[in-house]
Every structure is written in structure tokens, then in C-alpha cells.
């Protein structure tokens, strides 16, 4: 039998799941068993104004105080659904939960009346023990329903375990006191929260009857000005009218004989590169290509990649990278939506590309790049096309489109113009003094916008691009050997790509001859140990963490990583770059207070035009800029959660939506789920990410229709025909039904971990030879399994690229052999891999002992 009181509280709290918690602005050491407190006294006139506004609205001043606490918590905790404790002396002696769901557009008076009514009802239903109230709510078992409290009445001693605002309205002037245990808030946080409570009450007291909640905020004008203007004082004059390729052409005129791009013996000087790109531009112009057109690049990684990029821009057109490894239908979809007239490719890929483009009527020509004679003369992209003059690009023209995962199941094409990219290139080259001595090891795919800086930025500085081949990129040993043996000064990647090399650092002496001086890490969480590992392996290297979005021209914030503070939970985002504006905003689109989580918006001279062909998504994500005062400007809503530190540094807190990053790749879980759902026999599907940060893995959960028993392998193969490889789940787990919360929502926390119910393992075959036993033991340790049999597959057991490198490093350390990464990819079972290791051991025994240098050269 449920009492009336129980039913009342259940109705009020049932769907409240996330307890409202304030987070200290600074993490790290938390002194135990102390309470920070601060007080403010109001003068009688201020107090009278508060009472007057309460009278006008028809509530009591105490009700206004309770409501203000809810509003303040919503802002400081960065949430729109708050539960806190409240006690108005004289009404009750009991602290009662109050639920506040402030809507910024709501009239303040209506919200205050609602709060007063709710509080009165709560008092009428008082009497339930705290544990029973928590149970009536949706918070997980054992968690406290609230740990913040507002108390109106004569001041009482500060509680030891709650954040508490006390307001004594008894005297002529109100007394405000805020206290918090030191493990919940710092002393500075307590002072700020008290000042904000006071300012918010003053704002309410001064507000007109027509005021809405968004008009009454806790922050002073100075605080808002500081966040909006001072922390965004990034204005830097730029020479107008320049296109991305203009930067290269100027450099080509200055240093025509310097090396611009190389891969092994294949190399082009600035003059040669300029000439080749010019021929390609004329050939494209002869094919009718010009401003407004998209040229698709379907290329392997060679020096011709750079010719293609420059040639398209010189033709006045924009480029659209196509990953040749993508499913054919996805490539066709991209060509169709962009109405691509010309595709550039390698001579060897011509038959493949023709097969793709046959079904795409807009494609008029497929041109190939490379040395003459490798393909048919009529489709050679570098043939001299005669006197045709390409139409020139302007800075407001589109330069490229990069497709990223889209939540609705179709990828979205982010369209960038020249100007924001030129601004970014200028910023990097000025800030980091990039120059002719710099050489980048170019390892990033063209579909990942870091590549834009690697190519055009480095060329604008007069440096050179060492294009890593597709084979080199897959092999961490070779990449490390290139860093050690070639004059590479600059590394630019997602953290995971560099982390792959990390286990190998320890196997070599710290490299003092390396010229690596600058390491850019972006696109994902930077593991806190990575900066020191990099600096240990390459003395003299500076590590910079960068962030932003493809929608905001590659990077728009940066943080030079000096000493890693042990109190950090992640490397901070840092500050906006030149001419970029960053705002952390609350639900009412006002700057969030220091320390409070909010939504990150980017403005300034760095934004994309929008999403190709998707007006609705563009309008939803690019919103009117109400802060900078620039007429007609827009802000990009990143979907990132972030907060300000007291010095204006921005800390990234995660995503507010279903976008995840797996090894630097941006993935919308909705797109993966949509692909899973297309498989016949699947009733419903969910995708999620397991594992933290660098070890993150995409996991799919499928609920089949009755009588259907999907093989995980078939599911993965099916998804692989629809999505790029990085979006194919590492594990597919079949469930009878999806776990749901009491409210019927998907309970992501209850989804089983992969491994608990991973792909079916083959029958156990015990290892017998010494090599087999060693490999089985090493795998079991790496993959955290009890035992590994000879027929077990490395990848089915949860192995991934980071673990391959660790495996190789261990074999080097324990057996003193060098096993190439390919060996793991080609021999995926423990038995087959053990045979390779055994052969390597035998070769080692029979071969002359190599010197350490020879070992490096050989890999």
C-alpha cells in the first residue's frame, strides 16, 4: 500500500536521475574535515526591495530565496533539472527536497510562484525519512538525493556534509551565509557562490514584472564582460584577399629550388610542384571545372596527393577527399550529393574508380596523376591543356568539404572556405615560427582535417612534407624509424597515432640526434602520460594540445603542454587562437560562471559555411551570434561540454550528445545504429563505447527478431559494407532485450562489457611448443584473459592497434626479436603468430649478430 505522501513524492521525483552536484573549480588535494564559509550582510533598502518584489508577485521573500537557490544551482551545476534541500523556519523543522526545472524563456514571476506552491505542497507531505525520499526518486540506489541546501531563518551552525546557503531575513538587513565542506568546494568556490547568490537575489529584486528567467542571472556585468570580451581578445590583423594556395605560390616564388614534398626518392621542389599543380589546374579548367565545383580525390598516399590538392584549388574549385577503403556505395553517395564533375586518382586505381563512377552521371572525367605513360594519355591529369586559363578562386570561395559521421545515418559534409583556413595557417606559422627548416611527417588521411595544415600550412612556411606511405602509416616501427633517421621536425596527429609508438620508445636510447621539435596532438583526449613520454623520447620536442572542430577550421583553441599538473583530469583545451572566439554558455545562452559546466560555442573568423545540402542541420548548429556584436555573425554549437577556469583557460568535459571518439575518429553512434538496423532479422540495435579514452572500443548490441540468431561476424561484415572501417564495431553482442531504466529509457550502464559475452571462441587448443606457450602467455596477459588457445584470434579477443604495438614491444623485450606489425595482421591466431615468432627466433640464431643501428634500419 502506497501512502498519499509516498505517491506525492514519487510523482515529483520519479524521473529525476542525476543528483545535482557542484564540482570544485580545482581538483586535486582536498583537505579533510574542514568547512569553508563566508557571509554577506545586505542593507535594509536591498532587503526591502526583495520583500517588495515578493509581495508584487504574491509570494513570500523566503520563497524567492528558495527559488533563487534552485536557479543558482542550475547555473553552477550546468543542468536544467535540480533537486536541492530547503527549509523555511516556521513552516517545518524538516529539510525537504525541492525540484527546480528552470526554463530560460519562462516569466520569472511564474517560476517564483511555481516554486512557492511546490514548497507549500512539499511541506504538506512532509514526514518521510530521507532514505524513502531518495528511493522515490530515480537516482541510483544508495546515492544521496541532494547534497545542497537552502535554509531561511536564524543562522545555525554550518553543516559538515552539505553545501548550504542560509538567509536570515529576520533583521532590518538580510544576512547571507554560505558554507561547504572542503571536499566539495574550495574556499574560492564558496566565496563565488555566495557572491552569486547575493547578486542573483539582487537581480530578482530589481527585475521588472515582465522579466524572464534568462534576464536574471547571478553574474556581474564585469564577469560577463571578462568572459565575452577579455578572454576573447584574440583580434589579429590579417592581410585580406588571400587563398590557401596563394600562400604556397608566394613561397614558391621565394624558394623555387627548395624541396616541397618527398617520399623516398620521389621528390618535388617548390617550382616543380607549382608547375605540376598549374598543369593540373589547366587540365581541370579544360574539363569545365571552376569555382563552385567539387573535385573528388581518390588517391593513395604519394607526392601526387599534394599536386592534386594544390591543382584543384588553383582551378578555383574545392576538393572532396574520398577514402578509397570506404564502401563503394558510400563513395557513390558522396559523389552524387556533391555533383562531382571530375575524380582524380592513381593510374592503378582507374578500373576501380570507373566501376564506382559509372553509376554517377555527374562525373564527366576520371583523371589520373603520376609519371607520363602509366595510364591512358587522354585522361592524364598533368597533360598540358594549352592556353585555357583557370578561373581564379577568392577567399570567400569553398576550398574543401570533409565528411564526418552523421547522427541520422548519413555522413555530413562540412564545407570550408579559404579565409578561415588562411587565418589558422597564419596563426600556427607565426606562433610556432614554422619555416623552411621544418619538415612534417604527413601521416594523416585527407579525410581528417589535420591534413589541411600539414600540406598547406607547412608549404606556406617554406617547409617540406614527407608523405608517409599507406604501408608506413600502418607500421609504428617504421614511423619511429623515420622520426629517428630523417630530418622530421613536426609531428601532427590524433593522440592515438603517437601513442602507438609509445611502447617502442623504451626499446631505444633517447634520441638526441632527432630534429623533432614540435608535436601537435588533437582530435581526442590527450593521455596525461603522453607529453612526458614524448619529451623523454625526443629531447627538445614541444608538445601542444589543440582542439576545435572540423566546423571551425581544423583547430581554434590551443594549449602548450608544459608540466603535466597531477591534479588534472585531462589536458585543458586552453584558449582560442587568433581571431577565434570561445564561449562556455549556460542554458540561457549566457556565459557560464567560472567552474560551471556549460555548452561550448565557437565564433569569430574560423567557421565553416555549414553542412553540404543540409539546411536544417546547418541552421541548428550555426546559430546567430548574440555576443560579439558583429552584424549577421554566427556561432557554432560544438556539442562539447566545457568550463572556464578562473584565468579563462577552458577545460573540455566531454560531449553532450552521442558523438564519440575512437582513436581520434569522430563517430555518431546513431549512424552506427542505423547501419546495424538495416540488417534483416535485427529488431533493434544500440552502439556504445567501452574502455577509456585511448583504449576505447566501439561495441554493438543487437536484439534479433524471434528465431533469428545473428553471427557477430556477419553483423560486422554487413556494417563494413555500409560504413568506413573505423565505424565497424569491434564487438557485436546479442541480447534478448535491451536493459532499460525504471522510466523505460535505455540503461547504457547496464549493457554488458564486451568479453563477458564476446564472439564465440573456438574450442581450446593448448599450446605445446615453447614459442606457442610464450605467445599464449603474452596474449593472455595483454588481453587480460585467463588462457589463450592456439585457434584464438587476436582481434576477436579484443586486440586492437595499440595492443599490437605493446605486443611487439614485449616480444622485443622478452625474446629480443623484431616482429613487424604486419605479422600480427597477417597471422591473427595465436598458433599462426607463434609460428612466425618461432621462425624469427631461428633466423636470429643463425644470422650474424646485428648491431643496434642495423636493427633500426632493418625495420
Chain residues binding other proteins by CB under 8 A are: 104-105, 212, 214, 288, 290-292, 316, 391-392, 394, 396-398, 415, 417, 589, 609-616, 618-620, 622-627, 629-634
| Least Cβ distance, residue 317 to other proteins (angstroms) | 11
Helix (H, G, I), strand (E, B) or coil at 494: coil
| Least Cβ distance, residue 490 to other proteins (angstroms) | 33
Give Cβ neighbours of residue 437 (< 8 Å, ≥ 6 apart): 463, 489
CA atoms of 761 and 779, how far apart (whole Å): 15
User: Which of these, 401, 239, 429, lies nearest to 322 by C-alpha position?
Assistant: 401
CA atoms of 524 and 515, how far apart (whole Å): 25
| Least Cβ distance, residue 628 to other proteins (angstroms) | 8
CA atoms of 601 and 559, how far apart (whole Å): 18
* Element spanning 520, H or E: strand 518-522
| Least Cβ distance, residue 515 to other proteins (angstroms) | 42
* Element spanning 417, H or E: strand 412-417
CA atoms of 162 and 443, how far apart (whole Å): 52
| Least Cβ distance, residue 558 to other proteins (angstroms) | 27
Q: Which is nearer to other proteins, 608 or 702 (CB)?
A: 608
**Secondary structure of 53-97 in HEC code, one letter for each residue:** HHHHHCCCHHHHHHHHHHHHHHHHHCCCCEEEEEEECCCCCCCEE
- 166 phi/psi in degrees, rounded to 5: -115, 135
Q: Which residue has the cell 571518439?
A: 661
Q: Which residue has the cell 536493459?
A: 739
| Least Cβ distance, residue 210 to other proteins (angstroms) | 10
| Least Cβ distance, residue 599 to other proteins (angstroms) | 14
- Number of helices (H) and strands (E), helices first, in the chain? 28, 32
Tell me the HSE value of 464 on the side-chain side, using a 13 A CA sphere: 24
Q: Which is nearer to other proteins, 411 or 457 (CB)?
A: 411
| Least Cβ distance, residue 417 to other proteins (angstroms) | 8
| Least Cβ distance, residue 103 to other proteins (angstroms) | 8
| Least Cβ distance, residue 585 to other proteins (angstroms) | 12
| Least Cβ distance, residue 81 to other proteins (angstroms) | 15
Q: Which is nearer to other proteins, 614 or 838 (CB)?
A: 614
Q: Which is nearer to other proteins, 338 or 467 (CB)?
A: 338
94 DSSP 8-state letter: S
Helix (H, G, I), strand (E, B) or coil at 686: strand
Strand partners, 83: 99
829 DSSP 8-state letter: B
Q: Which is nearer to other proteins, 290 or 758 (CB)?
A: 290
Helix (H, G, I), strand (E, B) or coil at 396: coil
Q: Which is nearer to other proteins, 385 or 623 (CB)?
A: 623
Q: Which is nearer to other proteins, 370 or 610 (CB)?
A: 610
Strand duo 610-611 + 412-417: pairing: antiparallel
Q: Which is nearer to other proteins, 417 or 451 (CB)?
A: 417
Q: Would you state the cell numbers that stand for residue 54, as one nine-digit string?
A: 515578493
Helix (H, G, I), strand (E, B) or coil at 40: strand
Cβ density class 288-306: b for 16+ within 10 Å, e for less = ebbbebbbbbbbebbbbbb
CA atoms of 64 and 115, how far apart (whole Å): 8
Strand partners, 603: 581
Q: Which is nearer to other proteins, 373 or 632 (CB)?
A: 632
Q: Which is nearer to other proteins, 388 or 857 (CB)?
A: 388
| Least Cβ distance, residue 379 to other proteins (angstroms) | 22
| Least Cβ distance, residue 609 to other proteins (angstroms) | 6
CA atoms of 794 and 66, how far apart (whole Å): 58
Strand duo 342-345 + 598-604: pairing: unpaired
Strand partners, 365: 342
| Least Cβ distance, residue 243 to other proteins (angstroms) | 13
Q: Would you state the cell numbers that stand for residue 720, as one nine-digit string?
A: 563494413
Cα angle 669-597-76, degrees, rounded to a multiple of 5? 140
| Least Cβ distance, residue 624 to other proteins (angstroms) | 5
Q: Which is nearer to other proteins, 603 or 820 (CB)?
A: 603
| Least Cβ distance, residue 241 to other proteins (angstroms) | 13
| DSSP string over 313-347 | HHTT-EEEE--TTS-HHHHHHHHHHHT--EEEE-G
Q: Which is nearer to other proteins, 124 or 626 (CB)?
A: 626
Q: Which is nearer to other proteins, 286 or 735 (CB)?
A: 286
Q: Which is nearer to other proteins, 148 or 638 (CB)?
A: 638
CA atoms of 409 and 333, how far apart (whole Å): 12
| Least Cβ distance, residue 413 to other proteins (angstroms) | 10
Q: Which is nearer to other proteins, 104 or 406 (CB)?
A: 104
CA atoms of 731 and 729, how far apart (whole Å): 5
Q: Which is nearer to other proteins, 383 or 623 (CB)?
A: 623
Alpha helices per DSSP H over 528-601: 530-537
Is the distance from CB of 497 to CB of 666 less than 8 angstroms?
Answer: no
Q: Listing from the earlier edge strand, what are the strands of the sheet with 148-152? A: 35-41, 175-181, 163-168, 148-152, 82-88, 96-100
Is the distance from CB of 344 to CB of 369 less than 8 angstroms?
Answer: yes
User: Which of these, 304, 298, 299, 300, lies nearest to 260 by C-alpha position?
Assistant: 304
| Least Cβ distance, residue 614 to other proteins (angstroms) | 8
Q: Which is nearer to other proteins, 391 or 535 (CB)?
A: 391
CA atoms of 714 and 723, how far apart (whole Å): 14
CA atoms of 63 and 639, how far apart (whole Å): 35
Q: Which is nearer to other proteins, 564 or 609 (CB)?
A: 609
In the chain, the largest separation of any two C-alpha atoms, in whole Å, equals 96
Amino acid at each position: 500500500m502506497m501512502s498519499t505522501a509516498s505517491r506525492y513524492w514519487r510523482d515529483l521525483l520519479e524521473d529525476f536521475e542525476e543528483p545535482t552536484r557542484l564540482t570544485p573549480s580545482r581538483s586535486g588535494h582536498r583537505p579533510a574535515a574542514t568547512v569553508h564559509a563566508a557571509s554577506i550582510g545586505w542593507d535594509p533598502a536591498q532587503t526591502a526591495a526583495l520583500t517588495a518584489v515578493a509581495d508584487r508577485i504574491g509570494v513570500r521573500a523566503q520563497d524567492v530565496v528558495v527559488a533563487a537557490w534552485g536557479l543558482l544551482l542550475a547555473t553552477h551545476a550546468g543542468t536544467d533539472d535540480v533537486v536541492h534541500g530547503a527549509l523555511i523556519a516556521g513552516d517545518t523543522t524538516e529539510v525537504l527536497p525541492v525540484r527546480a526545472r528552470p526554463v530560460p524563456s519562462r516569466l520569472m514571476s511564474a517560476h517564483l510562484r511555481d516554486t512557492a506552491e511546490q514548497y507549500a505542497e512539499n511541506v504538506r507531505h512532509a514526514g518521510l525519512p530521507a532514505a524513502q525520499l531518495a528511493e522515490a526518486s530515480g537516482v541510483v540506489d544508495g546515492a544521496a538525493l541532494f547534497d545542497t541546501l537552502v535554509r531561511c531563518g536564524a543562522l545555525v551552525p554550518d553543516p559538515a556534509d552539505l553545501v548550504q546557503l542560509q538567509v536570515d531575513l529576520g533583521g532590518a538587513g538580510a544576512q547571507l551565509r554560505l558554507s561547504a565542506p572542503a571536499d566539495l568546494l574550495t574556499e574560492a568556490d564558496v566565496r563565488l557562490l555566495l557572491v552569486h547568490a547575493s547578486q542573483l537575489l539582487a537581480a530578482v529584486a530589481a527585475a521588472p514584472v515582465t522579466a524572464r528567467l534568462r534576464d536574471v542571472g547571478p553574474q556581474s556585468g564585469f564577469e560577463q564582460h571578462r568572459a565575452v570580451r577579455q578572454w576573447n581578445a584574440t583580434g589579429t590583423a590579417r592581410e585580406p584577399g588571400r587563398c590557401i594556395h596563394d600562400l604556397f605560390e608566394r613561397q614558391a616564388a621565394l624558394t623555387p629550388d627548395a624541396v616541397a614534398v618527398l617520399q623516398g626518392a620521389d621528390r618535388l621542389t617548390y617550382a616543380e610542384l607549382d608547375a605540376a599543380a598549374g598543369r593540373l589546374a589547366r587540365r581541370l579548367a579544360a574539363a569545365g571545372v571552376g569555382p563552385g565545383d567539387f573535385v573528388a580525390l581518390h588517391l593513395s598516399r604519394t607526392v601526387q596527393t599534394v599536386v592534386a590538392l594544390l591543382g584543384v584549388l588553383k582551378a578555383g574549385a574545392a576538393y572532396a577527399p574520398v577514402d578509397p577503403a570506404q564502401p563503394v556505395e558510400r563513395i557513390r553517395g558522396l559523389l552524387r550529393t556533391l555533383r562531382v564533375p571530375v575524380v582524380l586518382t592513381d593510374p592503378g586505381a582507374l578500373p576501380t574508380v570507373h566501376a564506382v563512377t559509372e553509376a554517377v552521371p555527374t562525373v564527366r572525367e576520371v583523371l589520373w596523376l603520376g609519371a607520363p605513360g602509366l595510364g591512358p594519355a587522354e585522361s592524364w591529369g598533368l597533360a598540358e591543356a594549352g592556353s585555357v586559363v583557370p578561373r581564379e578562386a577568392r577567399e570567400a570561395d569553398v576550398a574543401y568539404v570533409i565528411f564526418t559521421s552523421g547522427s541520422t545515418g548519413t555522413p555530413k559534409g562540412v564545407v570550408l572556405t579559404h579565409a578561415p583556413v588562411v587565418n589558422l595557417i597564419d596563426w600556427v606559422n607565426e606562433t610556432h615560427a614554422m619555416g623552411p627548416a621544418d619538415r612534417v611527417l604527413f601521416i594523416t588521411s585527407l579525410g581528417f582535417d589535420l591534413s589541411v595544415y600539414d600540406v598547406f600550412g607547412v608549404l606556406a612556411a617554406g617547409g617540406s612534407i614527407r608523405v608517409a606511405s599507406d604501408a608506413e602509416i600502418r607500421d609504428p616501427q617504421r614511423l619511429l624509424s623515420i622520426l629517428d633517421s630523417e630530418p622530421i621536425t613536426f609531428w601532427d596527429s590524433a593522440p592515438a597515432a603517437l601513442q602507438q609508438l609509445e611502447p617502442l620508445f623504451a626499446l631505444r636510447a633517447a634520441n638526441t640526434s632527432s630534429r623533432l621539435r614540435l608535436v601537435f596532438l588533437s582530435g581526442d583526449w590527450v593521455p596525461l602520460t603522453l607529453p612526458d613520454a614524448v619529451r623523454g623520447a625526443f629531447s627538445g620536442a614541444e608538445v601542444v594540445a589543440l582542439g576545435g572542430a572540423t566546423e571551425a577550421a581544423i583547430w581554434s583553441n590551443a594549449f602548450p603542454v608544459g608540466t603535466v599538473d597531477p591534479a588534472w583530469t585531462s589536458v585543458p583545451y586552453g584558449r582560442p587562437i587568433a581571431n577565434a572566439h570561445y564561449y562556455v554558455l549556460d542554458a540561457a545562452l549566457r556565459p557560464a560562471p567560472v567552474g560551471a559546466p556549460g555548452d561550448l560555442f565557437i565564433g569569430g573568423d574560423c567557421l565553416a559555411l555549414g553542412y553540404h545540402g543540409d539546411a536544417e542541420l546547418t541552421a541548428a548548429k550555426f546559430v546567430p551570434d548574440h555576443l560579439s556584436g558583429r552584424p549577421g555573425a554566427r556561432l557554432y554549437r560544438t556539442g562539447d561540454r566545457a568550463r572556464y577556469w578562473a584565468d579563462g583557460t577552458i577545460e573540455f568535459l566531454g560531449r553532450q550528445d552521442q558523438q564519440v571518439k575512437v582513436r581520434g575518429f569522430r563517430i555518431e553512434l546513431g549512424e552506427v545504429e542505423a547501419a546495424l538496423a538495416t540488417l534483416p532479422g535485427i529488431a533493434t540495435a544500440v552502439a556504445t563505447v567501452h574502455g577509456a579514452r585511448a583504449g576505447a572500443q566501439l561495441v554493438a548490441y543487437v536484439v534479433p527478431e524471434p528465431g533469428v540468431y545473428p553471427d557477430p561476424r556477419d553483423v560486422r561484415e554487413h556494417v563494413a559494407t555500409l560504413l568506413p572501417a573505423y565505424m565497424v564495431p569491434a564487438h557485436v553482442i546479442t541480447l534478448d532485450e535491451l536493459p532499460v531504466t525504471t522510466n523505460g529509457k535505455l540503461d547504457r550502464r547496464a549493457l554488458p562489457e564486451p568479453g563477458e559475452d564476446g564472439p564465440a571462441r573456438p574450442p581450446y587448443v593448448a599450446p605445446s611448443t615453447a614459442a606457442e606457450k610464450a605467445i599464449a602467455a603474452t596474449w593472455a596477459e595483454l588481453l587480460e584473459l585467463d588462457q589463450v588457445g592456439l585457434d584464438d584470434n587476436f582481434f576477436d579477443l579484443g586486440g586492437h592497434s595499440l595492443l599490437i604495438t605493446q605486443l611487439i614491444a614485449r616480444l622485443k623485450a622478452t625474446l629480443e626479436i623484431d616482429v613487424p606489425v604486419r605479422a600480427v595482421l597477417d597471422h591473427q591466431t595465436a598458433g599462426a603468430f607463434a609460428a612466425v615468432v618461432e621462425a624469427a627466433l631461428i633466423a636470429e640464431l643463425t644470422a650474424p649478430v646485428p648491431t643496434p643501428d642495423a636493427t633500426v634500419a632493418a625495420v
